[in-house]
Amino acid sequence: MTRVDRAFRYWAAAAGVIIMTVATACGQQSGEMQPEVQPEKLSSVVSRVIKASPDRESSSYAPPTPAVAQAIAAGVSELMNTGRASLESYDQVPVELPNTGQGDERSDSVVALVERGHPTAGNGLYIVRRAPMSQLVVQIPHPVADRYSEYMGTQLFAQSGARLFMMAGAHRNAGDDSADVAHRSDSTFAAVNDAVVQKGMTVVQIHGFSSDNHDDFGDVVLSNSVAEPSPTLRRLASDLEDGGFDTCTYDGKKCKALAATANVQAVAARARGAEFIHIEVNQKVRKDRSERRQLMRTIAASLRASGVG
């Protein structure tokens, strides 16, 4: 073999490597050769977000700038409308729902926006069901602080067919209590709520209370945050009572201390013509796995019967 032949073979081989590298990169960019991302269980997504979120002792949490909050809100809206989101600070993760018997557990129909970082900036977790369409939004403003509320919320999201699950990204006491998103209008949670909640939608927000502080409020407190309960709320109260849950419904007087009359998301929902349902659950019910699951099943069934979800 001549020197020229050897040189030709060398440069041909090198060119082949370059071509293959470019083709692979192009294929990855176009999505043709990317490895399939396996869906993550719903409970696993929530657990790892909580572990990475600023805790109650954290001094690192600070309310986001308006630009950051609005960018994330736009990303959630984009995901709901197009199935994709352009957010550098979030990963887009397919989610596997538990088998609820509702027939909508396909992993390709549910996508989570999971904030990067450890700890994260505390901007929250947002999970979208792309199909079927729904007018229901499930919100958890105080994960961990209202113990088990995050898992009750995911159960309700899965069983009700809700369109969107929203969970705050930090303990309510983080950053000297500046992370209490139910009472702060400068949070990313509030910005997302304002961006997605529209007329005709229903927002269900789950909280927790202790009988040590409210010993005469029973198992569950329901409220629309206004004195006149809606037909949906009245039906929900009746269904919960029939299910064995001692329920107090705010009517302008009863259980007013837990009625969410100053809740930021409630005010925003009313302004947009949406219904807001505030649910407070006693600690003894939240501690009992069987009880809290039965509670969520009852709520999901009642909402479906009212045409919500």
Q: What is the pLDDT of residue 6?
A: 45
Tokens of 29: 């960019």
Q: What is the pLDDT of residue 213?
A: 81
Q: What is the pLDDT of residue 172?
A: 97
Domain 38-305 has CATH 3.40.50.10810: no
Q: What is the pLDDT of residue 205?
A: 98
Q: What is the pLDDT of residue 35?
A: 54
Say if strands 90-96 and 40-41 run parallel, antiparallel, or are unpaired.
Answer: parallel
157 backbone dihedrals φ, ψ, rounded to 5°: -60, -45
Check residue 117 and give left, alpha or beta (phi > 0: left; psi -120 to 50: alpha): left
Q: SS3 of 278, please?
A: strand
What whole-number distance in Å separates Cα of residue 187 and Cα of residue 185? 6
Tokens of 101: 């018997």
| Tens digit of each residue's pLDDT, the chain (309 residues) | 444 344 434 434 444 433 333 333 333 443 444 456 789 999 999 999 999 999 999 988 999 999 999 999 999 999 999 989 999 999 999 999 987 655 444 445 899 999 999 999 999 999 999 877 799 999 999 999 999 999 999 999 999 999 999 999 999 999 999 999 999 999 999 999 999 999 999 999 999 999 888 878 999 999 999 999 999 999 999 999 999 999 999 999 999 999 999 999 999 999 999 999 999 999 999 999 999 999 999 999 999 999 997
Check residue 244 and give left, alpha or beta (phi > 0: left; psi -120 to 50: alpha): left
Q: What is the pLDDT of residue 102?
A: 52
What whole-number distance in Å separates Cα of residue 48 and Cα of residue 40? 11
Q: What is the pLDDT of residue 19?
A: 34
Q: SS3 of 275, please?
A: strand
What whole-number distance in Å separates Cα of residue 158 and Cα of residue 95? 11
Q: What is the pLDDT of residue 216?
A: 86
Q: What is the pLDDT of residue 101?
A: 56
Q: What is the pLDDT of residue 275?
A: 98
Q: What is the pLDDT of residue 74?
A: 98
Q: What is the pLDDT of residue 60?
A: 85
Q: What is the pLDDT of residue 44?
A: 96
Q: What is the pLDDT of residue 204?
A: 98
Q: What is the pLDDT of residue 36?
A: 66
Residue count (the chain): 309
